């Protein structure tokens, strides 16, 4: 490999899932994806109530990280990087989490701030979407936080915001019945409006009818797969396709009427996400309503890809 080419293994340790990618990066572009994988471990399970990452959640997450690194090792990456987001940021036992990961893997887990997460997500989500017209608004609904990033170009004038409300936190706080009660759904929507009120007021002055909205991460891609009736997830059929707000509202309405077991039978709903997809849909539906957005473009890329590109830029 030349000096401008680097093979990097990047593992994104999120509140709900752990996602890994091994890729070659050349001239600040991902030139070849060698390996990619991701699984739900629910690291942030119970975090809102206890303030700590629980032992069971930590054990299964650490085990998966170690497994991913073992799988990546034969491809001989130049650098391995682990990044942690909302759950690790918020945990009062963060030091224990970092220690356990390092003991199991020999690689430090870096905790990134919400604004950094937002900026990297912006670059990752837009990096391989072509022919989109600026300005852009990227929405990333995660397990423990949601990022909204506005930019007039791909690289400059970014306004990045991170709110510590995600699909795991909203579900654990607001949705307790199966199927959910009407008042639970109403309370969840009110909580989203309250939590994002400040960010929305800052973004609205910049948003016009010409803004291109891009959605990334599991909620958006799952809703798209569900909308398309996709039993086996195919990122190529998801990436770059549009999803209208009216369709999102329709999907959320249908999900809210179903039990968890009924949702699992739907195409596009993977096991482990059946209890979270409703909260994710509520967050997305409310945000699009409050921001006066008619629809969005779905990106299968996001934080993982953005962090990988950032990592490559630091290597000589």
User: What is the biggest distance separating any 2 CA atoms in the chain, rounded to whole angstroms?
Assistant: 59
194 in the same domain as 89: no
Flag whether 311 is in a domain. Answer: no
77 in the same domain as 178: no
Flag whether 92 is in a domain. Answer: yes
Flag whether 305 is in a domain. Answer: no
What gap in Å lies between CA 203 and CA 198, rounded to an integer? 9
Q: Angle at Cα 181 formed by Cα 163 and Cα 215, nearest 5°?
A: 35
209 in the same domain as 244: yes
Among 280, 216, 218, 223, which Cα is nearest to 246's?
A: 223
Quick one: pLDDT at residue 293? Answer: 95
Quick one: pLDDT at residue 3? Answer: 46
Among 171, 132, 161, which Cα is nearest to 281's?
A: 171
65 in the same domain as 144: no
Flag whether 124 is in a domain. Answer: no
285 in the same domain as 153: yes
Flag whether 97 is in a domain. Answer: yes
Quick one: pLDDT at residue 155? Answer: 67
- Alpha carbon 104 to chain centroid distance? 25
**Domain-terminating residue out of 91, 114, 137:** 114
109 in the same domain as 135: no
How many structural domains does the chain have?
2
pLDDT tens string for the chain (316 positions)?
444 689 999 999 999 999 999 999 987 788 899 999 999 999 999 988 899 999 999 999 999 999 999 999 999 999 999 999 989 999 999 999 999 999 999 999 999 998 899 899 999 999 888 788 899 999 999 988 999 999 987 766 789 999 999 999 999 999 999 999 999 999 999 999 999 999 999 999 988 888 999 999 889 999 999 999 998 888 889 999 999 999 999 999 999 999 999 999 999 998 889 999 999 999 999 999 999 999 999 999 999 999 998 888 887 6
CATH code of the domain covering residue 39: 3.30.420.40
**Domain-terminating residue out of 114, 146, 163:** 114
Task: Provide the domain limits for residue 138.
Answer: 129-300
Quick one: pLDDT at residue 204? Answer: 93
Flag whether 48 is in a domain. Answer: yes
Report in angstroms the alpha-carbon separations of 114 from 67, 121, 142, 172: 27, 10, 11, 21
257 CB-contact burial (10 Å; exposed 0-12 / middle 13-18 / buried 19+): exposed
151 in the same domain as 44: no
159 in the same domain as 274: yes
Report in angstroms the alpha-carbon separations of 267 from 222, 223, 225, 254: 9, 10, 7, 13
272 in the same domain as 205: yes
Specify whether the CB–CB gap between 127 and 309 falls below 8 A: yes
138 in the same domain as 107: no
Flag whether 140 is in a domain. Answer: yes
Quick one: pLDDT at residue 23? Answer: 95
Quick one: pLDDT at residue 1? Answer: 42
Quick one: pLDDT at residue 88? Answer: 95
Quick one: pLDDT at residue 313? Answer: 82
Flag whether 170 is in a domain. Answer: yes
pTM above 0.85, yes or no: yes
Quick one: pLDDT at residue 316? Answer: 63
């Amino acid at each position: 490999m030349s000096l401008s080419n680097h093979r990097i293994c990047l593992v994104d340790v999120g509140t709900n899932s752990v996602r890994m990618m091994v890729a070659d990066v050349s001239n600040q572009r991902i030139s070849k994806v060698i390996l990619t994988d991701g699984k739900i471990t629910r690291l942030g399970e119970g975090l809102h109530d206890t303030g700590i990452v629980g032992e069971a959640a930590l054990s299964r997450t650490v085990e998966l990280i170690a497994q991913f690194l073992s799988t990546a090792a034969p491809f001989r990456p130049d650098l391995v990087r682990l990044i942690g987001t909302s759950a690790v940021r918020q945990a009062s036992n963060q030091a224990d989490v970092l220690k356990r990961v390092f003991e199991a893997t020999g690689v430090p887990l870096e905790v990134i701030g919400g604004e950094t997460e937002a900026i990297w997500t912006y670059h990752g989500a837009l990096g391989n979407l072509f022919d989109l017209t600026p300005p852009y608004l990227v929405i990333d609904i995660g397990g423990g936080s949601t990022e909204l990033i506005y930019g007039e170009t791909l690289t400059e004038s970014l306004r990045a915001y991170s709110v510590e409300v995600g699909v795991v936190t909203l579900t654990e706080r607001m949705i307790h019945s199966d199927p959910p009660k009407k008042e639970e759904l109403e309370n969840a929507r009110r909580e989203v409006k309250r939590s994002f009120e400040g960010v929305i007021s800052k973004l609205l002055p910049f948003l016009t009818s010409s803004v291109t909205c891009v959605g990334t991460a599991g909620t958006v891609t799952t809703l798209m797969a569900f909308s398309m009736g996709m039993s086996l997830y195919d990122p190529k059929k998801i990436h770059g396709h549009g999803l209208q707000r009216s369709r999102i509202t329709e999907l959320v309405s249908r999900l809210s009427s179903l039990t968890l077991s009924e949702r699992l039978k739907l195409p596009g709903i993977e096991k482990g996400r059946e209890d979270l997809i409703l909260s994710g849909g509520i967050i997305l539906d409310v945000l699009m309503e409050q921001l006066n957005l008619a629809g969005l473009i779905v990106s299968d890329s996001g934080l993982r890809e953005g962090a990988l590109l950032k990592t490559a830029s630091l290597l000589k």
